[in-house]
Structure 1
Amino acid sequence: MMAADETSARLTAVLDKVRALGPTLRERALEAERAGRHSDETIADIDATGAFEIGSPAEFGGYEFSVRQQLDVVTEVAKWDGSCGWTVWAGASTNWIPAGSGARVVEEVYKPEWVGPRVAGSSHFPASRGRAKRVEGGWQLSGGPWTFGSDALWAPFTNLGCIADDGEGPYLVGAQVPLGELRFLDDWHVAGMRATGSVSCKLAADELFVPDHRCVDFRDITGGNLDNGLKGSLWQAPSLGWSFSLMAGMSIGIAQGALERFLERSAGRPIRGTTYKNQLEAPLTHLMLAEFHSKVQSATLMTRANAEETDRLGVLAAAGTPADPDYMQRFSARVLVETAYAAKWCAEAVELLQRNSGSTAIMDFEPIQRAWRDARVVTLHGALNLEALSENYGRLMAGVQPHNFAGITTLDRFAPTAPNKAV
């Protein structure tokens, strides 16, 4: 593990490189949107900043930043282009999946040299169309396609969610599938985050044999039941805290970038229907900016607190004194609902800027309209159903168990044994 000062210096270096690359990412955004994916040049340029290594194991040369530090990187990338932020977020926030799949998968994913994100995942929900059947020496995969494959175009492996049934009822498994065994559909035609290339994927053949070590019961992955050979506390941190704190950082970065662009284009711009010759001197602009600040600052403070708590819980677990299940359940539910609120508030904040930017802000070359669309897409992520998450957290606050459902955001993976208490 790196010393704290060395890690801090490396984080600063990554952030400085992202800031230097940022204007180029923004300049390429329109072309990438039209293509429905980042160019290979953009992926290589982001890789050169170190952004794809922020959540990779130190044992294999990765930076293994804390969740709080990863949050800063995701936020900075998203400030320049939401789709680039999504791509870095997806790569960083899903490292827990291969790490939870055991030491052999970890070595296969992280040991080779690679340009681009190392991790991708697709369809880790009960509605997965993928099927996995036990056979001698491994598993036979079939079905698909697997949807919303963020980073699958560039990662060496994609973890595919599959439903298995050994006769005692269906359950979810994660199958680590090499890039060369996948084919991608041209179905990413969306309102925002267009350059992420989050296409559906299918198997290159009707069926695929996957060796036993690459297909893991998802309950073992979420429970951290397999030895991965990694020593850092990051690998003991709660996966929902890791994934969703970074997701909120994406929303915050998009809002920050939109604000910079708004201030830049509003200087000296008159407001039609008024006598104001400079939009930045108008009281109505000042009121709007204060509301923008309050929404984004609220999202930022909650998100930073969740990232820091995720790191603290990882340290506790690594020291052999993990938080009790009851607290973990409430923390996980809290992270989910607060991420949904952060996404909502940031999207609303960007909409304030959009509505006050005039008709030229609807042009496809204008970053503000892209930020507006991208921020709304984050709120529509399948795991961020605000009303459902609010109900589940409210149930816990009232002393009632949340809904029992399957998937990566299930809250019943914890088994409370005592009344709620602080840790």
Structure 2
Amino acid sequence: MDATDEKAAQLETILEKVRALGPTLRKRAPEAERDGRHSDETIADIAATGAFDIGSPAEFGGYELTVRQQLDVVTEVGKWDGSAAWTVWVGASTNWMPAGMGARVVEEVYGPEWVGPRVAASSHFPASKGRAKRVDGGWIITGGPWTFGSDSLWAPYTNLGCIADEGNGPYLLAVQVPLDELEFLDDWKVAGMRATGSVSSKLKGEELFVPDYRVVDFKEIAAQSLDNGLAGSVWKAPTLGWAFSLMAGMSVGIAEGALERFLERSAGRPIRGTTYKNQLEAPLTHLMLTEVHSKIQSARLMARANAAETDRLGALAAAGTPADPEYMQLFSSRVLAETAYAAKWCAEAIELLQRNSGSTAIMDFEPIQRSWRDARIITLHGALNLEALSENFGRLIAGIAPHAFAGITTLDRFAPAPAAAPVQKAS
């Protein structure tokens, strides 16, 4: 069996295990929502499917599936529980952060045995309240709290965004902090994705010394400039393509699950105010289902295309023939905009299903109402400002540079070099 066939077989095994676990995830979802986090049993069960290892390095026993294959896993988990899909998405799509910090961090994160996600990250935006000051042998970290720490309850390390300023202006650092150095706040009181446990964290003490190798300028991570000792082409793939094509797959999975649930609960159900005794036989249902399908299908096709293109670009870079900066910037901007649209369309599709599901669909036990809330939360993610992303992508289409801004989704990392000024000939 060659490597391609082996990965395909691994993918199918993981998908089969996720499908088998799916009804249990759905059954546990109401309690997990009330608790504001997945149970440790659920984390262990997801880990047993292999879903947390789909983006982990092959050198350390991970599956290291292609981004396109990872997309299928995230989508399948999303069919059963949006919060579980979010947890798997974060665990897969942020592997590029420790990989971008160098070989020693890679060894530290992936070397030991671990049950659960390997990766968590928090506050990698200029608004981070974390501060870092260089000292002999490392950095002193202060400040916080660090917010929206998805997976930090279960990962061995959380990568904290911290701002440093050594006289030439502030810049963003990625700081790898062990689980036992963090204290978690009970502040995840939200409208959806409640079981993700995406709480804020703070240091256990007033300050923390972090050795040099665990602190890296975020620009170096984004540029993939440090040697991580990993051979696979996925480690050369564009990080925004990896993270956000999978995010779109999460929206697709939640919508697919809501559609399946709608068809299941609507058979034989009358439509009040009409003579229809079976909702699935009514033309108004048929029209609605076609619109729902079209929205989900549009999102699905964009996510798959972006994931496949991410893999292609990673292979080019690994072969020493990377795409030119102009294309990389355009592609990354496109992925962001299309992911925002995918989230919007899937949320709209679920709202149609919800609106046509009757008053019982608002009950806590009904998965459709949870899908409705979870899908809307994705559209509100800080990186998915639809209008801003649309403007930036539209500017690039029109031949105008996008807005320059700092943070995890900056497009400056791919900014083409400025054209050289024309040489003036002597008169």
Q: TM-score, normalised by structure 1?
A: 0.98
2:276 aligned with 1:276, yes or no?
yes
How many correspondences in the alignment? 419
For 2:240, the equivalent position in structure 1 comes to 240
For 1:196, the equivalent position in structure 2 comes to 196
2:140 aligned with 1:140, yes or no?
yes
* Deviations 1:326-348, CA, capped at 9 Å, x for gaps: 00000000000000000000000
Shift of 1:211: 0.4
For 2:342, the equivalent position in structure 1 comes to 342
For 1:71, the equivalent position in structure 2 comes to 71
SS at structure 2 position matched to 1:274 = coil
Shift of 1:392: 0.3
How large is the RMSD of aligned CA atoms in angstroms? 1.0
SS at structure 2 position matched to 1:413 = helix
Asked whether the equivalents of residues 182 and 203 of structure 1 are also in contact (C-alpha less than 8 Å), the reply is yes
Measure the CA separation in 2 of the matches of 1:387 and 1:168: 32
AA of the residue aligned to 2:190 = V
Measure the CA separation in 1 of the matches of 2:358 and 2:161: 44
AA of the residue aligned to 2:229 = G
Asked whether the equivalents of residues 144 and 202 of structure 1 are also in contact (C-alpha less than 8 Å), the reply is yes
Measure the CA separation in 2 of the matches of 1:398 and 1:381: 27
Measure the CA separation in 1 of the matches of 2:112 and 2:164: 30
SS at structure 1 position matched to 2:10 = helix
Measure the CA separation in 2 of the matches of 1:103 and 1:264: 49
2:410 aligned with 1:410, yes or no?
yes
For 1:209, the equivalent position in structure 2 comes to 209
SS at structure 1 position matched to 2:175 = strand
Measure the CA separation in 1 of the matches of 2:160 and 2:243: 17
Measure the CA separation in 2 of the matches of 1:266 and 1:384: 33
AA of the residue aligned to 1:356 = N
For 1:266, the equivalent position in structure 2 comes to 266
AA of the residue aligned to 1:123 = S
Shift of 1:2: 6.9
For 1:162, the equivalent position in structure 2 comes to 162
For 2:422, the equivalent position in structure 1 comes to none
Measure the CA separation in 2 of the matches of 1:393 and 1:278: 45
Shift of 1:11: 0.5
Measure the CA separation in 2 of the matches of 1:295 and 1:332: 22
For 1:302, the equivalent position in structure 2 comes to 302
Measure the CA separation in 2 of the matches of 1:62 and 1:141: 31
AA of the residue aligned to 1:400 = I
1:173-192 → structure 2 map (5 Å cutoff): 173-192=173-192
Asked whether the equivalents of residues 326 and 418 of structure 1 are also in contact (C-alpha less than 8 Å), the reply is no
For 2:128, the equivalent position in structure 1 comes to 128
Shift of 1:415: 2.6
SS at structure 2 position matched to 1:148 = coil
Measure the CA separation in 1 of the matches of 2:413 and 2:387: 21
For 2:16, the equivalent position in structure 1 comes to 16
Measure the CA separation in 2 of the matches of 1:206 and 1:2: 52
Measure the CA separation in 2 of the matches of 1:401 and 1:254: 35
SS at structure 1 position matched to 2:141 = strand
Shift of 1:414: 1.6
Shift of 1:86: 0.2
Measure the CA separation in 2 of the matches of 1:415 and 1:364: 47
AA of the residue aligned to 1:238 = P
2:339 aligned with 1:322, yes or no?
no
Measure the CA separation in 1 of the matches of 2:325 and 2:270: 57
* Deviations 1:206-247, CA, capped at 9 Å, x for gaps: 100000000000000000010000000000000000000000
SS at structure 1 position matched to 2:140 = strand
* Deviations 1:98-129, CA, capped at 9 Å, x for gaps: 00000000000000000000000000000000
SS at structure 1 position matched to 2:263 = helix
For 1:25, the equivalent position in structure 2 comes to 25
Moved over 4 A (4+): none
**Unaligned runs of at least 5 residues, structure 1:** none
Measure the CA separation in 2 of the matches of 1:50 and 1:100: 23
For 2:60, the equivalent position in structure 1 comes to 60
SS at structure 2 position matched to 1:162 = strand
SS at structure 2 position matched to 1:285 = helix
AA of the residue aligned to 1:221 = I
For 2:332, the equivalent position in structure 1 comes to 332
Shift of 1:410: 0.4
Asked whether the equivalents of residues 91 and 120 of structure 1 are also in contact (C-alpha less than 8 Å), the reply is yes
For 1:254, the equivalent position in structure 2 comes to 254
AA of the residue aligned to 2:56 = S
Measure the CA separation in 2 of the matches of 1:319 and 1:360: 55
Shift of 1:416: 1.5
For 2:382, the equivalent position in structure 1 comes to 382
Q: TM-score, normalised by structure 2?
A: 0.97
AA of the residue aligned to 1:253 = G
* Deviations 1:146-199, CA, capped at 9 Å, x for gaps: 000000000000000000011100000000000000000000000000000000
Asked whether the equivalents of residues 177 and 210 of structure 1 are also in contact (C-alpha less than 8 Å), the reply is yes
* Deviations 1:25-68, CA, capped at 9 Å, x for gaps: 00000000000000000000000000000000000000000000
Asked whether the equivalents of residues 183 and 202 of structure 1 are also in contact (C-alpha less than 8 Å), the reply is yes
Measure the CA separation in 1 of the matches of 2:302 and 2:222: 24
Percent sequence identity is: 81
AA of the residue aligned to 1:406 = A
AA of the residue aligned to 1:85 = A
Measure the CA separation in 2 of the matches of 1:206 and 1:197: 24
1:36-115 → structure 2 map (5 Å cutoff): 36-115=36-115
Distance verdict in 2 for CA 1:115–1:208, change over 3 Å: same
Measure the CA separation in 1 of the matches of 2:323 and 2:283: 49
SS at structure 1 position matched to 2:357 = coil
SS at structure 2 position matched to 1:402 = coil
Distance verdict in 2 for CA 1:408–1:2, change over 3 Å: farther
Measure the CA separation in 2 of the matches of 1:418 and 1:55: 35
AA of the residue aligned to 2:243 = S
Asked whether the equivalents of residues 326 and 417 of structure 1 are also in contact (C-alpha less than 8 Å), the reply is no
AA of the residue aligned to 2:316 = L
Asked whether the equivalents of residues 91 and 117 of structure 1 are also in contact (C-alpha less than 8 Å), the reply is yes
2:288 aligned with 1:288, yes or no?
yes
AA of the residue aligned to 2:379 = T
